[in-house]
Structure 1
Amino acid sequence: MSQPATAPTAAVVCTRTDFAWPDGTPVLNGFQFSVGPGRTGLVGLNGSGKSTLLKLIAGELTPTGGSVTTVGEVGHLPQHAALDTHLRVDEALGIAATRAALHAIEAGDPCEAHFTAVGDDWDVEERARATLDQLGLSALDLDRTLGEVSGGESVLLRLAALLLRRPDVLLLDEPTNNLDRPARRRLHDAVAAWSGVLLVVSHDRQLLDRVDRIADLRGGEVHWYGGNFTAYEQALAVEQETAERTVRAAGADVARQQRELADAHVKLARRVRYGNKMHAQKREPKIIMNARKREAQVSAGKHRILHTERLQEAKSRLDEATEAVRDDAEIRIDLPHTAVPPGRTVLTLTGLRTRHGTRADLEVRGPERIALTGRNGSGKTTLLRTLTGELPPAAGTADLHVPHRFLPQRLDEVLDPDRTVVENVARYAPEATGNRIRARLARFLFKGARADQRAGTLSGGERFRAALAALMLAEPAPQLLLLDEPTNNLDLSSVRRLVTALHSYEGALLVVSHDPRFLRELALTRWLTLTSDTLTAADPL
């Protein structure tokens, strides 16, 4: 679908933009893109180049060809950006120098440098507190040192810093990662109220339903759809239905052309046999028989060429029609050694108290599938790391009785970026042969050369899939999986693939997530929540 003729004056323009990673892996080639005021949702399969495009627009990456032009100041909220816990809140917000100058002026210091530092921003403190309150961070005093903040609080603080800067172009890359439901609602409201240029990459359907248009990045090109994500899905369904009908019609045409070509060969063979018979019986003068033979050969040759060309044209139409149908390949795995008998004890927490202060007594038996929920900063990640033995408990014990694997939020804890996908998986299954690893990786959609890509060159979703493969294919086979916010950085297609993979997994599952739709699709057997530093039973979301 072409870009609507009513598109506003562009504030971001990519002109014949090329980009490739240092190892030569291409991402964009001759890329054309422009976007103006309003809220735009950028979607596409993992690995299509969404995050790379945002970094090019933000100036964090340099195109290898063509140009990227922006009008006005650009603010970028990336997927991964840790905050220094030694910073004060005002430093994290980027207003420390302005506040210091303002306080100096209020204390009676008339130095011109202070007035220059303040500029027109005399209400910076009031705006900062209002922004923190808007995002649910009113408990953070501007003079306080950050200390340890949760992943969700880190995202909101970085967003608050951007909102205070009031950039002309705001780029958000998976901004709802790690956010609990109240925090997501606040971010949704902030996006809905944004009046400038907004380009957001997200797998959050509710967030994407607040945008004005969808830009679908696939095959190195952007396809535009007016309306929000729901309207986009409806338009896409119509496109796919049409594409599938075209494939069926093109396939039928190929079959018909193949039959006609076969018929042409049969007719030619009959003519040759008849000519040979006439020649053997010498029923006609030789000159007439030779003339008829040449005429038959020429006619048959033209007939054969005509049908061959028609067949090739039909095959080309089939190829084009097939390319228009989106590839929605699913992860399909069979891991019988992960199965846990119903009565087997998997996990026991006895009088456990974590460093965060969480208290828990818990027993998990058999292939239970448990959701662990709670507000940002409630201690869910600390509890998981305590269960795995990475963090020592402050009191009590945590006993794991089966082989287990932990998939953290930061995938670089699992993957070595300088190793290939195959090499990373081999680290967790050192006894497995290369062919065995490759055969299993194919089921995680890493086939052929894709399995030889370095982990550092993969997109967020591809890195997640590689990390999941490394853990699920580990030896001994894990009979307990602990997942911390597994849908972060995944496009909606990848989330569906993850659900399929986890349905195939026969072991016990303990998953932390703020994504209620994802959790509802996992066929969970129990829901737990962290409230008031206590692990308790909860109702399903």
Structure 2
Amino acid sequence: MSFSIVVDHVSFGWPDGTMVLDGLDAAFPAGRTGLIGANGSGKSTLLKIIAGELTPGSGSVSVAGEVGYLPQNVPLEGSRTVSDLLEISGKRAALHAVESGDVAEEHFTAIGDDWDVEERARAELDRLGLGHVGLDRTVATLSGGEAVMVALAAQILKRPAVLLLDEPTNNLDLDARRRLYAAVSAYPGVLVVVSHDRALLDLVDQVAELRDAAVRLYGGNLSDYEEQVAAEQEAAERTVRTAEGEVRRQQRELIEARTKLDRRNRTARKAFENKKVPKIVAGGLTMKAQVSAGKHRALHQERLAAARGRLTEAELAVRDDAEIRVELPGTAVPAGRTLLTLPLDRPDRPDRPDRPDGPDGTPGRDGLKALDRLDVRGPERIALLGPNGSGKTTLLRRIVEHGAHVPVGYLPQRLDVLDDALSVVDNVRAVAPAASVNDVRARLARFLFRGTRADQPVGTLSGGERFRAALAALLSADPPPQLLLLDEPTNNLDMSSVRQLSQALAAYRGALVVASHDVPFLETLGITRWLRQDRDEGLAES
């Protein structure tokens, strides 16, 4: 097999001494590869090193061809435009100059052979469902999902030989995900994608698992990988049971050897005491028994040690994946108690003909009841759906700014509630000043921040680790939240953490509003109300 990307003994650590990768070897073949692993295992760091965004402390990386890279968090700051994000602003400016009659040589040099760059850019945006996004629109006005798709369009326009995607389905609505799946399936070059999206990972040709500081390749997609791992685990567990049985057998034989020695000693002593044999003969018998039993005991001890060694080796082959243990605070609210009343502005659309009214006569759309006010009562569980750019994040922020009748906890999509310069411990202590350091560390251990990991600066955390830290701070706040607002909470989480989070939220006794495109996740939460936000028609309830 020929490899398009070769990682040779690469090590990387942060300035504070935290090692992320230590002597890593990896190789990625042609085709589509899904790179998976637990949060914090170094997946994003590895992609950044391959893309040249980070420089390893040691080792080297070789790539066959130009590299394109879509980061996990697309920058939305400043006055950058969509054209800037697509990296075509220079060529557009040169085109417009030539069209206006300026025939300076530098304009033709900037354009090269790319005279149709604007048409290709608009066609690519349209193919990805962004036909409504103008090239001169500022990036800061895009939703998270729109920004991701524009950044993907930028990479496709460059046609790199190797394309690296880091959690590309984060923030994407269902339509955008389908378009991304189609783009991934049609990509002609080498592609490596980090994701927890099952549908996306079922499109890959092979799965590379980053685990225990090593990368292992599995043929086939995610479903094939899970079948292989399940078979390996079953075999490993059988080996453990066999090794445990061998340890127990060797322990029994060692006990039996000791029992025989004691019996022989007692027999020799009684024979001497009863004057059946002379003292010298009894002593000889005792010595002979001790030597013989000693040899047997040493042999059994050696066999027991070997059996325990085989058991340890077998246990190491069994996966022990740590999972977060989310323990939500006691935040029960009485059923029916009003927690929030938020007036809503219905979009004024005189250019649109009226839609059929809802069941109660309220103007609506497609059987949905349009809302002029959002009321949240305890302990409701509300799912907030809607396409990218429809205003879901804006609505959650309005709730926070408007205020509720109970303490509110808000976990934003971009997880910018933490201070990057502070440690995980200090970030949690900032929202729970009355808690002792030991209490804070005990809480963080449930989120897999143990020992020195809790002292790590937040700015060095992976996306999944950052989410765990933000969630730990949110749930440790004093007073604890009785209304939780979560914006795309499954972004960046590995599959085990998503499962653990859904179990914890299902047990939460306060009110919950979750904006998410992850319908299978929402269905695990016991949702009681489904709301839909539309960019043109406001908020409605099914």
**C-alpha spacing 1:496/1:103, structure 2 compared with 1 (3 Å):** same
Q: Which moved more, 1:120-129 or 1:471-480?
A: 120-129
After TM superposition, give the deviation of residue 281 of structure 1 in Å.
5.4
What percent identity do the matched residue pairs reach? 61
Matches within 5 A, 1:468-483: 468-483=471-486
Q: Which residue of 1 aligns with 2:232?
A: 239
Matches within 5 A, 1:85-104: 85-104=78-97
AA aligned opposite 1:148: T
Identify the match of residue 524 of structure 1 among 485, 508, 527: 527
**C-alpha spacing 1:49/1:147, structure 2 compared with 1 (3 Å):** closer
Q: Which residue of 2 aligns with 1:508?
A: 511
**C-alpha spacing 1:504/1:147, structure 2 compared with 1 (3 Å):** closer
Q: Which residue of 2 aligns with 1:54?
A: 47
Matches within 5 A, 1:416-495: 416-495=419-498
AA aligned opposite 1:32: D
1:367 aligns with 2:379: yes
Kept after mapping to 2: 8 A contact 1:19/1:28: yes
Kept after mapping to 2: 8 A contact 1:83/1:92: no
Kept after mapping to 1: 8 A contact 2:326/2:500: no
Kept after mapping to 2: 8 A contact 1:89/1:141: yes
Structure 1: distance between partners of 2:80 and 2:21: 37
Q: Which residue of 1 aligns with 2:394?
A: 382
Structure 2: distance between partners of 1:480 and 1:319: 47
Q: Which residue of 2 aligns with 1:4?
A: none
- Aligned positions, number: 519
Alignment TM-score, normalising by the size of structure 1: 0.90
Structure 1: distance between partners of 2:112 and 2:501: 50
After TM superposition, give the deviation of residue 360 of structure 1 in Å.
4.1
Q: Which residue of 2 aligns with 1:392?
A: none
Matches within 5 A, 1:137-216: 137-216=130-209
Q: Which residue of 2 aligns with 1:395?
A: none
Secondary structure (helix, strand or coil) at the match of 2:421 reads coil
Q: Which residue of 2 aligns with 1:411?
A: 415
Matches within 5 A, 1:257-296: 257-278=250-271, 280=273, 283-284=276-277, 288-296=281-289
Secondary structure (helix, strand or coil) at the match of 1:11 reads strand
After TM superposition, give the deviation of residue 239 of structure 1 in Å.
1.9
Secondary structure (helix, strand or coil) at the match of 2:389 reads coil
Identify the match of residue 534 of structure 1 among 530, 535, 538: 538
Alignment TM-score, normalising by the size of structure 2: 0.90
1:124 aligns with 2:117: yes
**C-alpha spacing 1:507/1:328, structure 2 compared with 1 (3 Å):** farther
After TM superposition, give the deviation of residue 106 of structure 1 in Å.
4.3
**C-alpha spacing 1:257/1:482, structure 2 compared with 1 (3 Å):** same
AA aligned opposite 1:252: G
After TM superposition, give the deviation of residue 399 of structure 1 in Å.
4.6
Structure 1: distance between partners of 2:465 and 2:137: 38
1:496 aligns with 2:504: no
Structure 2: distance between partners of 1:453 and 1:266: 55
Q: Which moved more, 1:91-100 or 1:329-338?
A: 329-338
| Runs (5+) with no aligned partner, structure 2 | 348-369
After TM superposition, give the deviation of residue 499 of structure 1 in Å.
0.8
Secondary structure (helix, strand or coil) at the match of 2:420 reads coil
Secondary structure (helix, strand or coil) at the match of 2:192 reads strand
Kept after mapping to 2: 8 A contact 1:332/1:504: no
AA aligned opposite 2:539: L
1:271-313 CA distance string (max 9 Å, x none): 3333444455565456655544443333322222222222222
| Runs (5+) with no aligned partner, structure 1 | 1-6, 390-397
Matches within 5 A, 1:7-86: 7=1, 9-86=2-79
**C-alpha spacing 1:455/1:312, structure 2 compared with 1 (3 Å):** farther
